[in-house]
Each structure stands twice: as structure tokens, then as C-alpha cells.
Amino acid sequence: MNYKLEPIAPKTYVGNLIFLLGDEVAERALPLSKKEVDLLKERRAAKLDCIVRFDRLPYYIYVVSFNSEKPASECHEQLRRSAADLLSLLKADKIAMAGITGEGIIPEEMMAFVEGLTLADYTFDRYKTADEYHLGSATIDDRFFSADEFESNQRLWNRIMWCREWVNTPVQDLNAARFADELASIAADLGVSCTVFDKRQIESLRMGGLLAVNRGSVDEPRFVALEYKPAEPVNDKPLVLVGKGIMYDTGGLNIKPDDYMQEMKSDMAGAATMASVLFAAADNALPVHVVALLPMTDNRPGANAYAADDILTMYDGTTVEVVNTDAEGRLILADAIAYAAKNYNPGLIVDAATLTGAAVRAISTFGIAAMQQNAAGPYNLLSIVGEQVYERLVQFPFWSEYDELIKSEVADVKNCGTAQAGTITAGKFLARFAKDVPYIHLDIAGVAYFSKKQHYYAVGASGYGIRLLYAFMQTYDILNK
């Protein structure tokens, strides 16, 4: 979608008009007859959050009414969702261009609406032969924000779109090697440092988890290290982001039953998310030193696939008993987390992974299952930011008793516990590789990929978590003062 900022006078505007209505006084600014205003009042009395469409052939006026008295985060989220609802109307009316203005609203409300409109307008149509509907262009009233402010948000939204494209692309066209090549190309364009480790180099690093998961695949693994370091970062120690990059997950020899293998191209959403967050920081020159470590492979049952009962030696020397080859994500993440702790002296490690079905069963698709170790302050800030951008966290306990569930009789630890507390024990497994470094674990299994459309998230990859971590980095100086 193409945007431009220009003055808009609602009563003289020629074209399709989208009008955000925050209070009754603003009704005076609308180019409506008394009868139409009465209808609008009637609709708003029945439901304040609503969309009312007025026919001005060959144009239309769409009044987006919302409750500006709600808490800010809820109000902004409602505006994003209303934008998605409006897009359905625009599609039905075959609208290609529109102007967007409003009265009784503040810039943050307008930005939330445009954000929702942008995110809702995405479709994954790379493989379709027929054209999909998109709102071609929109003119936004320039009273609400400057061009620089708007363009910085556009760059962030662009990174969300890139993430969605990567996650939606099937492994036939995006395996570990190709993904690494794409990341290296983008990093070069942005001036971001990028190191790509191939299989031979991963073997020299002795990353036993990543190498084991890769053994059943004909495609080589990759380990990608991205680093963005501005001239004067607010943090003395880097923020390290670790993302799970299972390009496709069959479950390995513990092969997934029934239709659980469907949509497993999305198992690399953690890596796509963390790469996108770092690129967004570089795009907008955030003053935060950030590193992204991305272990990548697919998990297949072929060739010399690793098996239950195997004992692996990880990057940091920890031995791991494999009890389930479908608990593979934590194995590749563990190597990357241990690598971060040893080589970067991080101030904080945050991982993101589509890790456990237990997370979805616990909290459904309404947020991220989160845990922290030695990171109460950063976690609290991340949680507050999550409420603001409406990518929310649910903190799970990290009591020491959960360590008992992953104790092994034949190795230092086993890669999977019992059916109980599966999300927590997965996080516990990973936390031991962070050592004493402050660590936050984000299980995004319920929100990274949607089988059904959810508001401004289309079917497929969502990019959920990028706005959360980007906003966290925008406030990161609070932790470093």
C-alpha cells in the first residue's frame, strides 16, 4: 500500500473518505446531513465501536466510531481491529484509494488505525495466479504526525511483512541455506554485520544439538549471527536475541501424527521474528546494541536421523539424553544460547520459539507464554510494553521443582519432561544454557501462525512479537541508566 501525507478538509474532500470519530463534538466536521448525523448517533448509541458507511456515489464515506474513553492500549487495539473490519468493506466496494482523517482523536490513535489497516492488507499471494485485493493507496491527514515519524513506522511494518513472507514460504523454496543467504543480503544492504556458519564450521563449534537435528536432512544446517551496533548505544552489554529456525518439522523419528505436520513450515518463525526485530532496529537507527543468533535446519526422519536414547554433547559441553526427537527446537536453541553466553557477554538474552503445543493449550492464541531467569527488571518492562502494543505476555513460574522433571539417569539433562508442565520444562531446559546471564524465554507457538483469520492477522504468519520487541528496544535505555 502506498501512503502520502497531505491536508484533508472533510467537507470539501473529493474521493472516498475514512473518518475516525472519537467524540460527539467531532460529528460537526463530517459532511453529513442532519438525517445522516441522526443515523450515526443511533448506531453509536447501540455500539460505540462501529463502522457506518454513507453512499456518496461515485464515492463513499466510512465513519469509524470508537470509544476514546477506554484505556489507551485497549482503544488502540480496537482501532487496529476496526481497520481490519473496514478493509473488508473496502474490498466489497472495490475501493482502490481513500483519504483518512478524523476529529476528536490524538496522533497515537490515528497511528494505531493505520497500523491495523497496513497489517490487515497483507496477503500471502506469491503462489496465486489471480490477483488479490489490496487497498492501492491512502492519503493521511498530515495534522497527525510528521513524515519522519510516519516513515519510521512504515519501516517497522515492512519488517513485519518480510517476517510473514519468510514464515509463509514453504521449505521447498526456503531451506536453511537459502534463508541464510537472504539474511546476509539484507544485512549487507543495512550495514549490519552478518556471519553465516556452514555445516563444517558448525561441526568445528561442536554444536551437538544443531548437528543432531540436522542428521536426518539432505539440506545442510546454518548458524547465522547478525550484529547491529550503533555508534553510541545505550547498553554497554549487547541485547542478544535467539530465534528457533526449524525450517520444517516432521517430528523426526518421533514423527508427528495425523495432521500435526500441517503448517510446520512455520516452525522457523522465531528466527524470522528475531532477524526482523534486529533489521527494524537498524532501519530506524535505534541506539541499542543488538545481536541475533539464528540456528537453522529442518527436522526429518531420513538418512542417519537422530533417535530417542541418543546422548548429545552440546556446544557448552552439557550432555543431553534425547527422549523425543520432536522436542528438537530446544536442542538447536540451547547451542545458540550457550554460544551467546560464552561469546558476547550479554546484558540480556531473549529467545523466541514456536516451542510447545502446551503453550497453546494453556493460554490459547491470545498472547505469549513467557518465563524469566535472573531478569525480573527486563521482564517487567517487556510485560508493560506488551500491554501497550497489545502483544501480551503471560508469565509462567520457574520454580526449581520443575528442574526435577528433566533430570536424566544417563546424562546431565534430558530434552523433554513429562506431559505435565511441558511449556515450563522446555523453558527450564533452555535456561540452564544461559548460565547466570539474565534470560527471558518467549514461547510464541500460539501466536506466530494462525489457521484462521484473526482481526488484522491474516491466515498464516502473523509477525507477532516484532512490535513487542521493537517497542522494548525503544525503551531499553530505562534498563541501562
Contacts of 414 (CB under 8 A, 6+ apart): 320, 321, 322, 323, 406, 407, 408
Is 435 part of the annotated catalytic residue set?
Answer: no
In angstroms, the first-to-last Cα distance of the chain is 39
Find the catalytic residue in 43, 91, 178, 256.
Answer: 256
231, with CB counted inside 10 A (0-12, 13-18, 19+), is exposed
Using DSSP, state whether 21 is helix, strand or coil.
Answer: strand
* Alpha-carbon Rg for the chain in angstroms: 24
What is residue 244's DSSP assignment?
A: -
**Angle between the 466-474 and 376-389 helix axes, to the nearest 10 degrees?**
120
The grid cell for 401 is: 521443582
Is 28 part of the annotated catalytic residue set?
Answer: no
User: Cα(358)–Cα(320) distance, rounded to whole angstroms?
Assistant: 22
Cell numbers 534430558 correspond to: 414
User: Cα(278)–Cα(291) distance, rounded to whole angstroms?
Assistant: 7
Find the catalytic residue in 330, 414, 428, 467.
Answer: 330
Say how far residue 227 (Cα) sits from the centre of its chain: 19
User: Cα(203)–Cα(200) distance, rounded to whole angstroms?
Assistant: 5
The answer to whether 375 and 457 have CB atoms below 8 angstroms apart is no
List Cα–Cα distances, 258 to 150, 255, 395, 446, in angstroms.
46, 10, 31, 19
**Would you report the helix, strand and coil content of the chain in percent, each value rounded to 5?**
40, 20, 40
Cis bond upstream, residue 287 (ω within 30): no
- Beta-ladder partners of 372: 440
Sign of the torsion angle spanned by Cα atoms 113, 451, 352, 365: positive
Q: State the catalytic residues.
A: 256, 330
